[in-house]
Amino acid sequence: MTLNWQQEAAKYKDQMLADLTSLLKINSARDIEHKETDAPLGPGPRDALRQFLAIAERDGFTTKNVENVAGRIEYGQGDEIFGILGHMDVVPAGDGWETNPFEPVIKDGKIYARGSSDDKGPSIAAYYALKLLKDNGIELNKQVHFIVGTDEESAWVGINRYLEVEPKPDFAISPDANFPIINGEKGIVSYLITFKPIDGAAGEMTLVNFQSGLRANMVPQTAKAILSGAIPADFQAKFDAYLADHKLRGTITTDGEQTTLDLIGKGSHAQEPRAGVNAATHLATFLADFALDTKGGNYIGAIARLLHEDSRGHRLNINHTDDVMGDLTACPAVFNYTQDGVATVLLNVRYPKGVTAESTRRNLAETLADLADVTIDGHAQEPHYVAGSDPLVATLLNVFEAQTGLKGHEQVIGGGTYGRILERGVAFGALPEDRENVMHQANEYMYIEDIMNAIAIYADAIYRLTR
C-alpha cells in the first residue's frame, strides 16, 4: 500500500477536533441515580453513545445501537470480525480542575477535558482511521466492528450486554491505553473492608464522619473528616506542619460544635497508586497521632498503620510479584465512616499471575481478622495475556515501528481495558510511551499531535489486520 497514512490523517484535523469537542461536552459518567427507561446507565452515557453513532451515520457508516448501553459501527466484508473496542463513559470529574471539565479547552497543543485521553480522544482517533480508509475507497477483507461501550469505568454492563446479543469479534484492539502495545493486563478486583462493631470509651475528640474517594479505580484526591470534642490548642499548627512536610494543601474550619478538616492530595489512576497522593490515608495518618474515640481511633489507626503509602500490599500480607506481569498493587480508593453507622474502605487491587482474587481475599481477611470482614465487591477480572508470538501482537508492533521509527516491545499494565474481554484482544495506544499519563486525574488532557499520529497508526493497523 502506497498511501501516506500521516498525510491522509492530517486532512481530518479540524473535523476531528469538532467531533471530539461534541463528545467531550457530554458528562458521560455512570449515573444510575438518574437512570431512565431508555438510559439504564444514566442520561450522559446514553447521550455520548448516541452522539458517537450520529457522527458515524453522518459519514455514511452502518451503525447499531444496543439498548443505549453499547453500539457498533460497521465497515468491510469477510468471514472474520476484527473488533475495535472503545468507550464513551468517563470517571467523575472530581475536584481540582482549573477549567470546566466538560467545556474543552485547547492550550499549548493539548485539549483539556474529562475523557480527552480516556477514552474519547483515542476512540475518535480510531474512528477517523476507519473513516480515512472508507473515504479512500479501501476495501477490507474482514468485517470491522467498532464496538462502543458506556460502562467501562465501572461494571462493564454495556460491553457484556453487547456480547450477549451481538456477534463476538474473532480478535480485537482497544484504543484505551499506551503505545507500543499492551498485550498483558493484571487481574482487577476490589475488596470491601467492613470494620467490625466495637465498643469503647470516648476520647478527647470524636470522629463524627470521614469521607474520601469517588470510584474504585481512582486514587482519592480529597478527603474530609469531621470531629467533635475538645480540639487541642496546637491542632492547627500541627496540621499546617504536616501539610508543609508532605507538600499538601488543606484547611480546618469550625462552627463551634464541630471541626472539619479538608485535605487535598493528587488523584490518579488506581493502576499505579504511586502516581497519585492519597488524600485519605494522609488525613488518617495525621489524625492517628491524636486521642480519638475508640471506634474512630480504631478506623483511623488501621488506615494509617496498614494502608498508608504501601502500594504493594506488604503490610496487608498480599504482596506478590510475577516475572512477566510485575507487582501486585493495592489502592485504598473509597472511604466511608459515620459515627453511628458504617465504617468501610474499598481497596482496589491489581494482581499478576500467581495469585487469585480469592487467595488475596483470604490473606486480607487473615491479616484483618481482628478488625474487619473482607468481601469481593462487584466483578473481578482475571489476568490477561496475549503472547508476543501471536500474529495480532506482531503485526501491531510492526505497524508501530513503521509509523513512529521507534522500537516496539511488549507491555503489561495494571489498568483494565476491553481488550481483555477476548482471548485475542490487546490494547493499542493511543498514549505515547513517553507522555505523562493523566487519565483519571484533574485537568486531564491529550496532545492533539498524539491524536493525529494515532489516526495514522490505527489506519495502517486496520489495513494490515484486514488483509
List the catalytic residues. Answer: 89, 152
Cα-only R_g, the chain: 24
Residue type, 332: P
Q: How far apart are the first and last CA of the chain?
A: 11
Residue with cell 516496539: 408
CA 216 to chain centre: 9
Amino acid at 66: V
Can you tell me the distance from the alpha carbon of 254 to that of 244, in angstroms, rounded to the nearest whole number? Answer: 21
Query: Is 244 buried (19+), middle (13-18) or exposed (0-12) by CB count in 10 A?
Result: exposed
CA-based nearest residue to 386, from 414, 422, 416, 431? 422
Phi, psi of 131 (to 5 degrees): -65, -40
Alpha helices in 59-88 (DSSP H): none
Of 283, 332, 308, 292, give the one whose Cα is nearest residue 208.
292
Whole-angstrom distance, CA of residue 464 vs CA of residue 107? 35
Q: Is residue 377 exposed (0-12), middle (13-18) or buried (19+ Cβ within 10 Å)?
A: middle
CA distances for 73 relative to 14, 46, 289, 425, 467, angstroms:
22, 16, 57, 18, 19
